Chains A and B, each alone.
Chain A
Amino acid sequence: MSSSGDIAISVRDVSKSYIISHNQEAHVTLAEAMLHRLRHPFQRPRSEKFWALQDINFDVSFGEVVGIVGRNGAGKSTLLKILSRITEPATGQIDLYGRIGSLLEVGTGFHPELTGRENIFLNGHILGMNRAEIRRQFDAIVEFAGVDKFLDTPVKRYSSGMFVRLAFSVAAHLNPEILVVDEVLAVGDAEFQRKCLGKMRDVASGGRTVLFVSHNMAAVRQLCTSGILLDGGRIVKHGTVSEVVQDYLAARATGRSIGQVNRHGMELAEIALRDADSGYPTQSPIMDGDYQLYLKVIAHRPLRGAAPVIRIYDDLGTLVSSICCVEEGMGTVDMDGPLAVSFNLPRLQLYPGRYSVTVCLYALHDPVQYLEAADALTFDVQPAPVRDASKAYDHQAGKVRIANGGEFLDAAEIESDDVVELPTARSH
C-alpha cells in the first residue's frame, strides 16, 4: 500500500453534456426519424445541450473515503458513471491508480432463474472478481447474506429481503483498491442497513479508497473523511466531511431556489409551513398538528391554466407525498403577476423526521415544467402522542401514519361472530 499522500484518483477538467431534444416527439425508430425529416425538411432540430457536469477537478488520495453529496440532479450519479468508466466524459481526463470496482445498483446482473450459488459467481464476475477470488470469499458471502439454506434455490423464489442481502453481500466482498458506491444503503430493512454500514466502515478502515454517494448525511458523516458538494454539475465545496455536510444542509435549509426568476419567467417568492391557528411559520411542526403550506409564486410572464404541484421528500430523497391542485379539486389558475396558494394539512400524519418540499409548476395539457424549486423548504416533524396515547411514534416508525386508532374486541364478541358465520351452528 502506498503512503497516504499518494494520489488514487485524479480528475481534470471533466465535463459531460447530454443533448435534450425539444421536439414534441422523440424518434425511437429510424423510420420515424426519416419521416419527420421529410415532413419538415427545413426545420432545425430544436435541441439543447444540458451540462450534467462542468469543469470538475479534484484529487483523491489513497485510503481517503470521500462522500459526494448534492441534491437530486446535481450530477452525482453522472460523476460516478464516468469514474467507473460506464460512460465517457465529453472533455477532460481521469486517471485511476488501482483497480476500480463500482456498485451503482445492488443486484445488477442477478438472474431470477439462476440459483443463489450460480448468481454469486455470475455477479462476482460481472463486478470484476475472478473465479479464485469468489471461491475464497464464497463462505463469507453466504454467511453475511444469511441465505445458506437457499443456495440452490432460484433467486426468483427469494423474498425481496433475501435477494437484496445476497446482492449486497457479493458486492461487499469485492476487493478493489478503489471502490465507488452509490446509495446502496437505501435498500433492505433497518437492521440490514446497519449491517451494510458496518461492512462499509470495515472496507473504509481497511485502507481502501472509497467514493460514496448518499443523501443520508448521518451515513456520510460516519463513513467519510472528506466530502465533495455538487450543485448544478459543478463542485461548490471540497473539504472535510463536516464542512461539506454543513454546507449541504445549509443550502437545503435556506432554499436557494427562492427569489430567482427562471427562464420561463417564474419565481418562487415565498414558501412557508404555517401553524393553522396562529399563522406563524415553523420548521418544526409536531405530528398530528394542523398546518398550512403557504407559497407565493410570481409570474413575470402570463401563464394560463397553471397548476402548482408540491412534492414532499424524506431525508433519503424518497418521494413521500404529492399535492396537486387539480386532484385536490382546486382546478387551475391563470397567472399574471403574483399568486399566493395555501394548502391545508390538517392533522399532519408524517412520522418524525426531516422532510423537504419541492415546488413545481405545470400548465394543463402542456408537458413543460415551468418551475422546479427543489428543496425550497425543509422541516423536521417532532414526535407527539396522537389522541391520548401514552407513547409517541418516533422516526423509526416509518414515514406516514395510515391508521386512525382502533379497538380491542372482547372475547364474547369474537365467539358470537364465529357462531353466526357457521351455517350448521343454527340447525340444531
Chain B
Amino acid sequence: MSEEINIAGQLKFASQHLFNLIVFIGILYYFLKDTVVKFFSERSQKISREIQEANAIIETSQEAYNSSSQKINLIDNELTELRNSIDSITSRKTKDIIENANFVAKKIKADTEDIIKLESLRLKYEVESAILNKALQVAQYEISNEVTVEKDSQLILTFLSEVKQNAVSNS
C-alpha cells in the first residue's frame, strides 16, 4: 500500500515538474523566439557572406595563380630562348675563335717561313761578304807586294790619260 502511495506521489511530482518545464519552455519560446530566429538568421547570412568572400578570394587566388602560371610559362619560354641563343652565340663565337686561331696560325706560319727565308738570305750574304772581304784582304796584300815603281807609273799614266779624255769630252 505504501509503495502505491509512493509511486503516485512520484508521478504527481513528475507531472508537476513536467508541467513547469512545459510552461517554462513556452515562456522561453514566447520571449526568445524572435531573438533566436534573428540570431540564427544573422548567423546564416554571415556564414553565407563569408562563403561568398571565400569564393571571391578563391577566384582571385585562382586568377593570380593563372597569371603566375602564365608568367612562369613565359619565363620558361624566355629561358629556353635564352639558352638557345646562348648556345647559338657560343657556337658562333667558338667558330669565330677557331677561324681566327687558324688564320693567325697560317699567318704565323707564313711569316716564319718568310723570316727563315730572309734570315737564310742574310746569312748567305754575310758569308759571301766575309768571303769577299777575306779575298780582298788577300788581294790587297798581293797587290802591295806586286806593285813596283814601273807598274805604279804605268797605272798613273793610264789613269791620267782617262782623266784627260774625260776632261776633253766634258769641255
Decide whether A and B are members of one complex: no
B interface residues, Cβ below 8 angstroms from A: none
* Interface residues in chain A, defined as those with a beta carbon under 8 Å from any beta carbon in chain B: none
